[in-house]
Each structure stands twice: as structure tokens, then as C-alpha cells.
């Protein structure tokens, strides 16, 4: 299968590339520099906010599957630059959909838990069919991205992920580890709950989903939920390290409002008969063992 990975310089894309590269004809693209793990002959450059260029480049390649991991994911940056957020996250996705329409290509689009407001979620977490209600610009721009995918295409996967950590990029887990190594104080927000998720497990889920036409919306997160405070404690336990932790109010650090409880349940994933995704604790342990070898 010929596959185009958009946003190939991102953290999730490294694991997606590894999951697909051996068995498929894979190409990556972004507007930034080519990552070392992608050969030059498999690299394209285009800006998804440029509708004409996006249409021409995707049409020329004519992929059977497009995986879109590209996003403006700086939540506070989106709040300060709403036009840019909607241009990249919403209209950029629309441009990709327009290109996919030409040859009926399947689109796998990566979305976010931030399409929910985080107010009184179900005990086990939001399911795919629960009502969305984004409370910040980032969440709203990703909601509209989902809107375009659902209304423009017949063959699509929308995968909502949350609290990602993985290799190759700074993330919350690596931040905590590095802070402990350097004996720096760690500031974390009080009473913020979510589903920490390893990019390696998201990539594996994508590779399984696209093998059969089980189109639709899926929540793809590691099992379980936790607060940032408990997540830090688990990282300390797994690394044998520690540091001073200072709990702070969200308004003292964030510009944009965040969902307080945006943990997700992989409901449709399990209905399709897939095995439950491992717990966030198991995934964190796996990541840390790899992180130690490369740190």
C-alpha cells in the first residue's frame, strides 16, 4: 500500500514511520527539515495551508492512505494566534480532505481529547459518541478539523489521542525525568486528569486499524486515567529518582483554559474486537527503559 505521512517531523510520526515502513511504500512530508530517519527519495515538502500545493502534491503521489499527524498543538500559542490555529488545524485538514477526494484515498486523521470540555465526564472516560464541547482555540480548531473529515470523506479514521509522550521530542515524561536528574523543582498543575499515551502504542493501533475498513472515530489512549501529580509519582517510582514538586493553579501558568478531566475510554476500539491497549503505567515503564538507553 502506498502511504503518505503528513507532519512527518513530529513526535508521533517517528513511531508511525517505524510501524509502516517495512511493509508499505511510505512517504513523509512536512514544511520543516527532513528527519534523518526518512530517506530523501521518500520525502516531500509542502504546506498544508496552501490548498493548491497540497492538492497537487498529494494528487501527484496518489496514495491509497494518508495519515495526518500535522497540527499546531501549542495550546497557549493557539489561544494567542487563533487565525493561525484555524488555518493549520482546520483549513489545513480541509485541504488534505479535498486532495483525498480525488482518488478516494483513505484518511487517518489524528485528533485530541481537547474536543471535550472536561466537565463531569463519565467515570470510565469519554466514549467516542459523547458530546464534544471544546473550551479553547486549540480544541475548537481540532473540532472543525474533525467536522471537515466527517463531512467531506466517506473513508476515514479519526483517532483522538491524549497526553502523548514518545521518543525524539520533549514531552511531559522526559521533562520530569530531566528535571529530576538536574535536581530542578517540578511545577505541575493541580487536579488535571487525563490518559497518558505512548506514541508507540498509537502507531501500533493505527497499523491494525487500517488493515480493515473499520472506518469511524476511535479513542486511542493507554488504558486508565491519572492526574499529573500521580503521573509524576509513577515516573519517580519507575526511575528511582525524585525532585521537589510544586502544585500550582492552572491560571498561574496557562493562557488557555484546559479541560480538567479529559480522559478517554477506548470503547469502539474494543467493540471492534481489538485487545485492550496496555495501561499507561506499563507504557511509561517501556518508554523509560528505552529513554535510559538513549539519554
Phi, psi of 22 (to 5 degrees): -75, -30
Tens digit of pLDDT for each residue in 101-152?
Answer: 988 999 999 999 999 999 999 999 999 999 999 999 999 999 999 999 999 9
- For 46-96, the pLDDT digits (tens) are 999 999 999 999 999 999 999 999 999 999 999 999 999 999 999 999 999
Nearest Cα to Cα of residue 294 among 166, 195, 204, 191: 166
Once rounded to an integer, what is the mean pLDDT over residues 211-224?
95
What percent of the chain has a predicted confidence (pLDDT) above 90?
86
Best CA proximity match to 166, nearest among 266, 272, 288: 288
**Per-residue confidence (pLDDT) for residue 57, from 0 to 100:** 94
How far apart are the C-alpha atoms of 45 and 117, rounded to whole Å? 35
Cβ-in-10-Å burial (0-12, 13-18, 19+) of 24 comes to middle
Averaged pLDDT, 287-294: 73
Its domain, for residue 79, covers 2-170+194-225+260-279
pLDDT at 279: 98
Phi, psi of 177 (to 5 degrees): -60, -50
Q: So what's the pLDDT on residue 172?
A: 95
Q: Please tell me the distance from the alpha carbon of residue 263 to that of residue 192, in angstroms, as a whole number.
A: 10
Q: What distance in Å separates the CA atoms of residue 3 and residue 212, rounded to the nearest whole number?
A: 15
In a domain, 176, yes or no: no
Q: What is the pLDDT of residues 159-182, one digit of tens each?
A: 999 999 998 888 999 999 999 999
Domain for residue 184, yes or no?
A: no
Q: Is the alpha carbon torsion for 147, 134, 109, 37 positive or negative?
A: positive
pLDDT of residue 32: 82
Is position 201 within any domain?
yes
Q: Is residue 288 part of a domain?
A: no
- Global model pTM greater than 0.75: yes
Binned at pLDDT 50, 70 and 90, residue 292 comes out as low
* Of 113-122, 224-233, 283-292, minimum mean pLDDT range: 283-292
Looking at residue 66, its pLDDT comes to: 98
Q: Evaluate whether residue 43 is within a structural domain.
A: yes
DSSP assignment of 60-91 equals HH--SEEEE------HHHHHH-HHHHIIIIII
Give the count of domains, the chain: 1
- Closest by CA position to 3, among listed 25, 34, 19: 25
Which residue, among 207, 244, 242, 228, has the nearest Cα to 280 in the 3D structure? 228
Within a domain: 48: yes
Please give the Cα distance from 156 to 107 (Å, whole number).
Answer: 5
- Inside any domain, residue 204: yes
Confidence (pLDDT) at 252: 85
- Answer whether 95's CB lies under 8 Å from 48's CB: yes
CA distances from 42 to 35, 49, 67, 80 (A): 11, 21, 15, 35
- In a domain, residue 267? The reply is yes
CATH number at residue 39: 3.40.50.720
Amino acid at each position: 500500500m502506498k502511504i503518505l505521512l503528513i507532519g512527518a517531523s513530529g513526535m508521533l510520526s517517528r513511531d508511525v514511520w517505524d510501524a509502516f515502513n517495512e511493509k508499505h511504500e511510505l512517504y513523509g512530508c512536512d514544511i520543516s527539515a527532513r528527519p534523518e530517519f526518512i530517506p530523501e527519495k521518500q520525502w516531500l515538502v509542502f504546506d498544508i495551508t496552501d490548498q493548491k500545493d497540497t492538492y497537487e502534491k498529494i494528487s501527484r503521489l496518489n496514495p491509497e492512505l494518508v495519515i495526518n499527524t500535522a497540527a499546531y498543538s501549542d495550546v497557549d500559542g493557539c489561544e494567542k494566534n487563533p487565525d493561525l490555529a484555524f488555518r493549520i488545524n482546520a483549513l489545513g485538514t480541509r485541504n488534505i480532505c479535498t486532495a483525498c477526494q480525488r482518488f478516494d484515498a483513505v484518511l487517518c486523521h489524528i485528533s485530541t481529547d481537547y474536543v471535550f470540555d472536561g466537565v463531569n465526564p463519565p467515570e470510565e472516560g469519554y466514549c467516542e459518541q459523547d458530546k464534544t464541547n471544546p473550551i479553547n482555540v486549540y480544541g475548537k480548531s481540532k473540532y472543525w478539523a474533525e467536522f471537515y473529515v466527517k463531512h467531506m470523506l466517506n473513508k476515514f479514521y479519526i483517532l483522538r489521542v491524549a497526553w502523548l509522550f514518545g521518543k525524539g521530542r520533549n514531552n511531559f515524561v522526559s521533562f520530569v525525568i530531566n528535571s529530576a536528574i538536574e535536581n530542578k523543582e517540578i511545577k505541575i498543575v493541580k487536579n488535571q486528569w487525563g490518559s497518558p499515551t505512548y506514541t508507540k502504542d498509537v502507531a501500533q493501533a493505527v497499523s491494525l486499524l487500517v488493515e480493515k475498513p473499520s472506518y469511524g472515530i476511535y479513542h486511542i489512549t493507554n488504558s486508565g486515567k491519572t492526574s499529573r501529580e500521580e503521573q509524576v509519582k509513577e515516573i519517580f517510582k519507575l526511575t528511582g529518582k525524585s525532585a521537589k514538586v510544586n502544585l500550582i493553579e492552572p491560571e498561574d501558568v496557562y493562557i488557555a483554559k484546559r479541560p480538567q478531566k479529559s480522559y478517554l475510554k477506548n470503547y469502539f476500539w474494543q467493540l471492534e474486537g481489538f485487545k485492550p491497549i496496555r495501561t499507561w503505567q506499563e507504557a511509561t515503564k517501556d518508554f523509560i527503559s528505552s529513554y535510559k538507553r538513549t539519554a
